[in-house]
Structures are given as C-alpha cells and as structure tokens.
Structure 1
Amino acid sequence: VATQARVRVSHGDSGLHLLRNGHTAPQTLAALIAADPRATVRQIGIVDAQGNAAAHTGGNTIRYAGHQVGDGYSVQANMMESEGVPLAMATAFDATHGHLMLRILAALRAAQDAGGDFRGQQSAALKIVSGTLPTAAWDGVLYDVRVDDHADPIGELTRICHRHLAYDAADEAVEMAAQGNLEGAMARYNEALALDAEDLQYRFWFALTLADEHNALTTVEPIFREVFALAPMWKECLIRTAEAHPLNTPGMVEQILALG
C-alpha cells in the first residue's frame, strides 16, 4: 500500500489489515476511499498478494497528478512537470526485464526523463520485501535503500542498488564454486563487476574464498593483484583475517601476499 499527495498514514496499516483479511486490492481501495472524508486530496496505490492492482488519484490533488495500473504493479505521481509521467513509468517498467530492482529503477529514471516533479529533485528510495510471510520481525525485507537528500537522487540510488546486486552476484558466484562450477562462478563474478567495479570488498572476499576453500588461487590471482594495487590495506586485512580465522590451506597467506 502506498499513500501519497496529502498523505493519510493510517491508510497503510488499514489497507494491509484489509488485505490480510481476504480483501482484494480493488476492494481494499474502495473501503479506504469510502472511509476517508478527504479522499479528493489523496493518492493511493495498492497491489495484493495475487498481483491485483488498484489506484486512486483524488480530483483535488495538485496537478499534474495521475496513476497507471498494470500487471502486478501500480505507479502514482503528483505535482508533475507533465501529464505523461505515470505512463512513462509504466512503459519503462513493462519494457525492462530481469531483477525487480532494475525494473523499478528504470521506472524512476523514466519518470524524471518525462519531467518529474516540477519542484525538482531531492530524494529517492527503494524497498523490496519477500513474497513470503516472515517468521521473525527482522526477516522479510530484502532491500531498503534511501537517498534522503542529494543533487542526483536517482543516480545515487542506482549506484547503491547496483552495489547491492553486485554483492548478491558475488555471493551466488561463491555458491557456484562450492558446487564445482568454477567457470560459472567466474562468469557470475564478472556480472558483479559490470554492476559495480569500484567496491573492492566483495572482490577481495570472493577471491579469498575461492583461493582458500576451492583451490582456485591461480584463477583469482588477477583479482588479488588488482585489489592490492588499488588499496594495499587489503593485504593487512588478509593478515588480520588469517590471525582470527586460520585459512584452510597451509602457506596460502604467504602465496597471496606475494601477489601484491
């Protein structure tokens, strides 16, 4: 449930309560509007667990304001530079394939390209939760990225989100190596590198894991050389890590340090 324009925060909790009790997105939206004496200044978007979507833009919402409902999603915007923002968002979301995060980022960029908020840019945020009910209060949130104040909030949000996806890809690469698929692991690592080549941390830990746990030092040697050249402190990190958690392979620390 998203509540926008003249926000009524209770629409969030009330909407989720109705959804949990079996109401569809359209039914939930109708109930919220019926109980809101100021519905004409509200903007609400709802998607239920079955993918049904519904949205409302009140007639007194500051122009330009509107929404688009699609298969499993709804986009809303108000105080827009042009009327075409919601349609641009929906078109970009539908046209982008792959990870949900990338589809949302594409929609945000399309909104800005279509004019965005006539007041300019300041902040952006992206939150993705699991589709299954968590067993613990701290579980269920997969990504929660906020850029509260930035000259290019969508660009900064994109940079951080790409870093999240790069870490995910590196983790998957380690899992592939554990299954004996070293070629696939390196291919997945290169996908991580394409998303974020600046962060050295995931590159270091990926190389160390493959070298020590999967006997692949020769394969990851170029990674160590580049990381050490860019930031020699990772050699110190290797030494301290081995002190706290001795590596599996005798002499591995010395072999890796010799690469830098």
Structure 2
Amino acid sequence: MKYIIPFLIVISFNSFSQNKPSDPLAHTYSIVARDAETGEMAVAVQSHWFSVGTAVSWGEAGVGVVATQSFTNKSFGPRGLAMMKSGLSPQQAMDSLINNDEGEAFRQVAILNSEGQVASHTGAKCIDEAGHINGDNFSVQANMMLNKSVVPAMENAWKSNKDLRLAERMVEVLKAAQAEGGDIRGKQSAALLIVKGEASEEPWNDKVLDLRVDDHENPISELDRLVKVFRAYEHMNQGDLYVEKGAMQEAMNEYNAAMEMFPRNLEMQYWTAITLANDGKMDRAVKMLQKIYQEDANWRELTKRLPKVGLLEVEEKDLIRLTH
C-alpha cells in the first residue's frame, strides 16, 4: 500500500526520481545499541508518524537489532536478522540489502549484532537534515531533522549515560534528539524494543521489553513513563516469585519498592495486602484493603473469589474481616 501525506505531494512529483519507493514513510530518529555488560540489544525510535514502532524496529535475541526508516523497507528488518543469524556480519547484511534495492538512495538503515558490531546507511536522497554516527555497540541515525545537531546530540547522550540501565539510556538518547529540535514536523509516536543478548530454549521469554506509544502529543515522555511502570512491575513479579518460595519478607520488600514508585496504583496495593493476609498480618491487610475498597468496590468482590483458587488461604472469620 502507498502512503503519501499532503505536505510531500509536491516533493514527490517534482524532486524524486522515477524509482522513488512506494514504501511507507517513517522519517525519524533512532538508535540501535547493545549493553556491553548484559548483552541486551535495543532499538529506540521517535517520529511524527503513526505507530512508528511497527515499521522501524526489529530484533531477535542472540542475533541483533535493525532500524529501517526514511522510505521504510520493512523487509530489511526480518531479512537483515536472518542474514546475521546465518553468519553474516552487519556490514555484509547491509551490503546485501542495499545493493539489491532500487530505492537505496531513499533508505536509512542501521544494523547491530550480538557482538556489538554495527553498520549504517543514509541514502543520498534522505531528506535533510540526515545522517548517522556509529561506534562500538551503537549507531544513531536521523533524517528530516530540524537541524544537523540532532545526531551528534544523540551520540553524546549515549556515551554520557553509561551508568543507566539500557532502557533508560535509550530513552535519554531520544530526549537529547528532541531537545535539539528533533523531527522538523514535530512528535507523534515512539517505541522501545529490547531483546536478550543470547537466545534461550524459551523464545517467548527472550524479548525483554516491547513498548509502543502509537499516537501521543508527547510520545517520549509517555515512553519514559512506561519504562518506569515496567520497572515497578519488575518488583511486583519478583515479589510473586518470593511468595511462591514462601519468602514473605523478601516479597514484601519487592512489593513495597513497587508501591513507592507508583503509590496510586491499586493493583500493587491490592496484591501487597493479599500477601500480608496470607502471611497472617491480618490487621495491616484489612487496613489496606479498606482504603482500596473505598476507591473501587470491585476489589472486594475479587477478594471473595480468591479462596476458591487458592490465592487467599485464610480462615472464614478472617475472610469476613477482609471483605466487610
């Protein structure tokens, strides 16, 4: 399907050559990167385009990540990954993709493998300001930017935030690009994809994070918020694992950490209260649950249903206290 947005119609007819691709547009800035300590690999991207994450960012654990943008050839994602999986380097994969593409002058692509090697391409007909910078474990690239300082600002943000975890570090790179003016058209969508450095026997667990903000007036701020929510739920998940092991104090520590991050989240409060009840700390559980019920009575009904499936194991008299 061919997507043309109004402001590009004149450009399309007057400036582009006859071999202009009919692929979707995703003029944007992005980063592909690898955490040297964990081996995790990531793509982060922002564009004034709807649902940019569905077109630009691709990744596979143990293989690498790809960002394909400008006039986006989506096939570069899965094909680039397949080539690297077969043993080709990022540059070899890039050469194969670009050399067999009539629209290479309109493409912007970055490829990174599980060893941190990168290859980048900015076609001669990518709209100014356009360019890329790459190094060990990263590549930053952008096209249709407000000014030429965007890409260097992204590089600096990547290098100056080594103390951050990968997700947060990637978001800082997007923030830096936007602070320099970003996409000349403005903001609309953003995405962050992270995969593990090594593939496991459980591929359904090999994707660390996949966040997409498809349409938002401040997509990077929203992406930043979602990363924080993700971290809070990491604590919740770890707390659940401790509950399974009967390590209630450790579980409470994790739940409390989550609630400190999002004190208004009823879900986090609720399961903390249920854990307290299962651990015999009935007074504290009752107090927490009463506050939750005042905000949403449906949680009371949920509490009544938990004993049937073994998630709340208390005596009848205590269940009455918990649900009154």
| TM-score bucket of the superposed structures, by smaller chain | 0.7 to 0.9
Which structure has greater strand proportion? Answer: 2
Q: Distance in 2 between matches of 1:219 and 1:53?
A: 54
Question: Is the 8 Å Cα contact of residues 68 and 109 (structure 2) preserved in structure 1?
Answer: yes
SS in 2 for 1:43: strand
Following superposition, the deviation at residue 27 of structure 1 comes to 2.6
What is aligned with 2:180? 114
- The reply to whether residue 4 of structure 1 matches residue 69 of structure 2 is yes
Compared with structure 1, are the counterparts of its residues 147 and 177 closer, same or farther at alpha carbon in structure 2 (3 Å cutoff)?
same
What is aligned with 1:129? 195
What is aligned with 1:18? 83
What is aligned with 2:237? 171
Compared with structure 1, are the counterparts of its residues 26 and 226 closer, same or farther at alpha carbon in structure 2 (3 Å cutoff)?
farther
Compared with structure 1, are the counterparts of its residues 253 and 100 closer, same or farther at alpha carbon in structure 2 (3 Å cutoff)?
farther
Compared with structure 1, are the counterparts of its residues 44 and 232 closer, same or farther at alpha carbon in structure 2 (3 Å cutoff)?
same
Deviation string for 1:41-79 (max 9, x for gaps)? 211111101121221212221111122324422222211
Q: Distance in 1 between matches of 2:284 and 2:153?
A: 44
What is aligned with 1:50? 115
Following superposition, the deviation at residue 120 of structure 1 comes to 0.8
Which structure has greater helix proportion? Answer: 1
- The reply to whether residue 84 of structure 1 matches residue 141 of structure 2 is no
What is aligned with 1:256? 322
Q: Distance in 2 between matches of 1:117 and 1:176?
A: 45
What is aligned with 1:99? 165
TM-score by length of 1: 0.84
Compared with structure 1, are the counterparts of its residues 14 and 246 closer, same or farther at alpha carbon in structure 2 (3 Å cutoff)?
closer
Q: Distance in 1 between matches of 2:89 and 2:72?
A: 22
Question: Is the 8 Å Cα contact of residues 274 and 312 (structure 2) preserved in structure 1?
Answer: no
Q: Distance in 2 between matches of 1:99 and 1:219?
A: 35
Compared with structure 1, are the counterparts of its residues 38 and 203 closer, same or farther at alpha carbon in structure 2 (3 Å cutoff)?
same
Equivalent in 257, 263, 278 of residue 197 of structure 1: 263
What is aligned with 2:277? 211
What is aligned with 1:234? 299
Following superposition, the deviation at residue 136 of structure 1 comes to 6.3
What is aligned with 1:148? 214
Question: Is the 8 Å Cα contact of residues 174 and 185 (structure 1) preserved in structure 2?
Answer: yes
Compared with structure 1, are the counterparts of its residues 175 and 38 closer, same or farther at alpha carbon in structure 2 (3 Å cutoff)?
same
Moved more, 177-186 or 9-18: 177-186
Following superposition, the deviation at residue 257 of structure 1 comes to 3.3
Question: Is the 8 Å Cα contact of residues 174 and 206 (structure 1) preserved in structure 2?
Answer: no
Question: Is the 8 Å Cα contact of residues 293 and 300 (structure 2) preserved in structure 1?
Answer: yes
Question: Is the 8 Å Cα contact of residues 45 and 55 (structure 1) preserved in structure 2?
Answer: yes
Following superposition, the deviation at residue 3 of structure 1 comes to 0.8
RMSD: 2.8
What is aligned with 2:140? 75
Compared with structure 1, are the counterparts of its residues 226 and 97 closer, same or farther at alpha carbon in structure 2 (3 Å cutoff)?
farther
Q: Distance in 2 between matches of 1:219 and 1:112?
A: 46
Deviation string for 1:79-135 (max 9, x for gaps)? 111222223223333415343222222222222122111101111122222333355
Q: Distance in 2 between matches of 1:96 and 1:204?
A: 36
State the one-letter code of the partner of 1:153. Answer: P
